[in-house]
Amino acid sequence: MKILIVNGPNLNALGQREKDIYGTDTLEDLENQCISYGASNGIEVLVYQSNIEGEIINYLYKMKDIVNYIIINPGALTHYGYSLRDCISAIENDVLEVHLSNIDNREEFRKTSVITPVACGKISGLGKEGYILAINYFILKNEK
Q: Is 95 in the site for a copy of itself (CB under 8 A)?
A: no
DSSP 70: E
Tell me the three state secondary structure of residue 34: helix
4-33 binders of a copy of itself (CB under 8 A): 8-10, 12-13, 16-18
Residue closer to a copy of itself (CB basis): 23 or 46: 23
Report the residue from 15, 68, 80, 93 that binds a copy of itself according to the rule CB under 8 A.
80
- CA neighbor of 33 nearest in space, from 52, 54, 8, 14: 14
**What's the min distance (Å) between Cβ of 98 and a copy of itself?**
10
Q: How far apart are CA 130 and CA 128, in angstroms?
A: 5
Which window, 27-35, 40-48, 98-106, contacts a copy of itself (CB under 8 A)?
98-106
Q: Is 3 in the site for a copy of itself (CB under 8 A)?
A: no
**Cα-only R_g, the chain:** 14
